[in-house]
Structure 1
């Protein structure tokens, strides 16, 4: 956060580096591979769909924890975070800043990048990206001033981000080829995207007094499986209290259930 607040080109330089890196990788793949559109289908390839879905949740979990510096040794946070960011068609640097703002301003209607209150799940999905961008822009102007130079910087950031997005999509298609891209990468990306969205949507609710409350979720087949695959990701209230814990479900569940600081939601 401090670098983002002090360096007006913190995002722009990062997005431009992404463009250079993925443009170079794409050119290398174009020279190295002879064909990119051969689609050799077999029934066995359908097994890649569930594998991709699981991998997408693993990517979401690792990406999230890397943004908090929870992977040991510390140098792995950048490596894992950048890989996961590229796989998610995003970037470690901007994801980390946006996520830190979510922790600082959780459920704040103005400053939280993705408050879910009053929205259906589909509305939450549709608005979260644009709202995150708006919050980051507002934060940028707060520290660097809303001058013409700053507005131009924001315009270049958005353009560079979109170019990088397209280059990353191209990279994964060229790397995997049509069959793996369709049957592995797309399910993995969908699992990452919707898994992350659902976790954030369902874990921010209202208590009996109508006040915002971050929730833990466990119990039942769905949450048991999802907590296993996401390293306790649905223990979201625990995570907000202890963000440096890779697996927040490891807190004493009896304490979490009995202590008023934690409320575990059990759908059964």
Structure 2
């Protein structure tokens, strides 16, 4: 976060570099490998889909640990982080920055990219990238001022960020071909987005006093399985208490409640709907209005 505070082009230069790099790589792949549109499915392809399902939460979990520099020496950690940031499309640097805001300001609607208070789950799943950009923009203007120059920088950041995502999608399409892009990459990506979103949604709760609290979830077949695959992803309270531990399920759990955010004003929000209800309730938008956030 210190580099972000000191360098107004910290994210812009990263996105531009990604655009150039992946544009060149995609051109080379297209020239020498070409586009594969084969979709002749075989019976054993079901194993590929199964592998994508089994890996749900693993790439995001390791990327998350890379953000905390928990994956070996600095060079190895960052190399793995860059690979997984490419796999998840949004990039290692932006993810790390947004995640550091989440740890420094957990559940604070002004600077946490994904406080689940007031969100329906479906809206929460599709909101993190946009919400993170809003938080980063807010912090950027706080550090560098809100003027024509900084607004132009933010606009370019968004443009190159979106172009870099499109180029990474094309990159993975060229790498896998249409068939394995559809039956391996897409399920892997969607399930990772779902699991990582649910970890944050389900473990950041509103307690009986209306305060935000972070909890661990470990009971039940689903939580046991995902905690195994994701190295303790749902042990979120443990993770916030000791983020430098690779697998927070190995930590002895504290008996004390972890209160992450106490609202200064009444922030009554809609009760959470069932996970699969098709509601698009935007909690951050509601809280921003209540708190007079731009």
Give TM-score scaled by structure 2 length.
Answer: 0.85
Corresponding position of 1:104: 104
Deviations 1:9-37 (A, max 9, x none): 00010001101111111011111114421
Tell me, which stretches of 5 or more residues in structure 2 are unaligned?
A: 260-294
Corresponding position of 1:224: 224
Tell me which moved more, 82-91 or 126-135.
Answer: 126-135
Deviations 1:46-79 (A, max 9, x none): 2111211233421011100000100112221111
Distance 2:35 2:65 in 1: 37
Distance 2:102 2:128 in 1: 12
Corresponding position of 2:256: 260
Corresponding position of 2:50: 50
Higher fraction of helix: 1
Distance 1:164 1:104 in 2: 27
1:236 Cα shift? 0.1
Does residue 76 of structure 1 match 2:76?
Answer: yes
Distance 1:55 1:31 in 2: 31
Aligned length: 259
Tell me which moved more, 173-182 or 207-216.
Answer: 207-216
Corresponding position of 1:90: 90
Query: Could you say what the CA RMSD is over the residues aligned between the two structures, in angstroms?
Result: 1.4
Question: Are 1:67 and 1:81, in contact at CA under 8 Å, matched by a contact in 2?
Answer: yes
Distance 1:208 1:90 in 2: 35
Corresponding position of 1:206: 206
1:141 Cα shift? 0.7
Distance 1:34 1:100 in 2: 39
Corresponding position of 2:114: 114
Corresponding position of 1:266: none
1:40 Cα shift? 2.5
Deviations 1:173-204 (A, max 9, x none): 01100111000000110111111100000010
Structure 1 segments (4+ residues) deviating >4 Å: none
Tell me which moved more, 11-20 or 118-127.
Answer: 118-127
Residue pairs, 1:110-149, within 5 angstroms: 110-149=110-149
User: Secondary structure, in 3 states, of the residue corresponding to 1:216?
Assistant: coil
Deviations 1:80-121 (A, max 9, x none): 100000000111111111000011111112221111012110
Corresponding position of 2:275: none
Distance 1:11 1:186 in 2: 26
Distance 1:64 1:231 in 2: 11
